A and B are shown apart, each in its own frame.
Chain A
């Protein structure tokens, strides 16, 4: 009897299905850039600012910059002018060039940490949420890590090694992993109770398939949103680490380093601190706007908002 389901269904018995157009109103979202901006204004603004910043970082050599590490003691601490747009620091280096090149470090650190923390946190969260016995062990370790403020954890990790961009990325990634894996675990715990997961089990799907086809795709929306916040937080952490001298080596112009060096003079020459701070704030704002926009756009219930 079992094989009769499909084979014994004579097509003539089946009434013609109504055309779908009658049942579902066609959805015609406005296409193109204007439509996208109107539907997702926060995402559009955030994305635009971030793209601008990425463009600045990538094309820094073409944007009328000079060597950001070139010393010129004779021309130190100049005010912003037509010659030195953002002025010069106490060693005579051009702040404009340093800020633009500094964008590279911040963005590399931000994107790398967001990527690695998401991938590792996703893996840990999936295992923790789906494998009951592993959950209590993994989550106790994560709780332990989260009991230390992430900035202190990053400082401690940096103290164990020498300052380099790779080590900064590694230290901040380790400090951010617990938060990401906690989020993923929570999402997985609620997803595994969904009836469609039970239906997939009844339909004979094995555990790896259930994780990959049913659980993972539904965690991507929250993880993407979380990744943007991690990216923003990582940039700030990088600036803090550099500012207190525990981050990238002073030879590399990063926003944290520029601000750290300008700190001594900040009451008389505030522009040295001001420009990198503004760039950092705008970048982090852009990323957070992008994250908020993504969160709204990826919510399936808001997906059909036209």
Chain B
């Protein structure tokens, strides 16, 4: 593969907390604290993690819906995070977004035609009114909605239909990458399946890359190529789908996967129960962020933050984990000792 479509390097987004008598900054929420990943053309990367770990912030930061604190975002070789909004605007065409809530993601006072025409108009993708109308019609075909529904208002549609309109709006800009921010989480199961299949079909037909932000591991396993697991503003593990689901290397991923229900009555996984709650992103733990809840934590985890390192024992290449357990070059790796052996063998 040539250079990736999207390359994110050490992205940070800290939200200031305002308070005090004069409204000064009293602290920061370290929502995203130095994450790096890339997405290739036509590839699906899923970003998973529990609520509040910073998944959605990553999506919005890439779209530059707010300025980022540090790091860089490179779209197809061009650095976009430091561009002025007027320079960035034409490039926005290549990255579109589908949001979670199908009700608040469509302007209630615009007809479907105007919603779909907005990106086409903004990016100058139609030369005449007739061409615009034809493109809107084709978009409706693409997301399997009747063409004559363009005259309707968003509130006349069901949740699944609205999500199709949201996808059509994203497609209207003819993008290379669509960021699906929990795009199917608010839908019920059968509709969810329809939308997921639609996204997969569109990806195949149009060569779209998807950044699929989700907390639903079953859906992720169904549709992704690679997975990045986030915990408290950091990437804990990133790996090809098969390698991650069959042999997770980070203890947090292990725990997450053990919580996915098995679709087989009477059969249950061995659960890894994490103790405690997620620490606050305002004051994240020193060292490894997961050490407060990690069943395997040892001294090094409390002082030294593990970088994302390739895991030598992984099933497939490109499997990276931020965990000291997999740093086999270190002297005092407990994996060499009894208890950890099982982890290595997985």
A17 → chain B, closest Cβ, in Å? 4
B320 at the A interface (CB under 8 A): no
Neighbouring A residues of B63 by C-beta, 8 Å: 198, 201-202
Chain B 145-194 residues near chain A, CB threshold 8 A: 145-149, 152, 155-158, 161, 166, 169, 171-176
Question: B118–A203 contact, CB under 8 A?
Answer: yes
Selected interface stretch from B106-114, B285-293, B304-312: B106-114
A218 at the B interface (CB under 8 A): yes
B300 → chain A, closest Cβ, in Å? 41
Question: A202–B95 contact, CB under 8 A?
Answer: yes
Neighbouring A residues of B101 by C-beta, 8 Å: 195
Question: Who on chain B is nearest to A24 by CB?
Answer: B156
Range, interface on chain A? 35 or more
A306 → chain B, closest Cβ, in Å? 13
B123 at the A interface (CB under 8 A): yes
Contact with B along A194-208 (1 / 0, CB 8 A): 111011111111100
Selected interface stretch from A8-16, A107-115, A170-178: A8-16
A304 → chain B, closest Cβ, in Å? 7
* Of A20, A195, A203, the contact of B122 (CB 8 Å cutoff): A203
* Of B42, B99, B142, the contact of A9 (CB 8 Å cutoff): B142
B242 at the A interface (CB under 8 A): no
Question: B144–A217 contact, CB under 8 A?
Answer: no
Neighbouring A residues of B100 by C-beta, 8 Å: 195
B205 at the A interface (CB under 8 A): yes
* Of A1, A19, A194, A200, the contact of B104 (CB 8 Å cutoff): A194
Question: B207–A1 contact, CB under 8 A?
Answer: yes
Neighbouring A residues of B140 by C-beta, 8 Å: 17
Range, interface on chain B? 35 or more
Question: B119–A5 contact, CB under 8 A?
Answer: no
B340 at the A interface (CB under 8 A): no
Neighbouring B residues of A76 by C-beta, 8 Å: none
B14 at the A interface (CB under 8 A): no
Neighbouring B residues of A2 by C-beta, 8 Å: 93-94, 174-176
Question: B206–A5 contact, CB under 8 A?
Answer: yes
Q: Give chain A's interface residues, CB within 8 Å of chain B.
A: 1-6, 8-9, 11, 14-15, 17-20, 23-24, 27, 194-196, 198-206, 209, 213-214, 217-218, 300, 303-304
Q: Give chain B's interface residues, CB within 8 Å of chain A.
A: 41-42, 60, 63, 65, 89-90, 92-97, 99-101, 104-110, 118-119, 122-123, 135, 138-142, 144-149, 152, 155-158, 161, 166, 169, 171-176, 205-207
Beyond the given pairs A8-B206, A24-B156, A218-B109, 4 more chain A to chain B contacts, judged by CB atoms under 8 angstroms and listed by A's residue number, are A11-B141, A20-B152, A213-B110, A300-B108
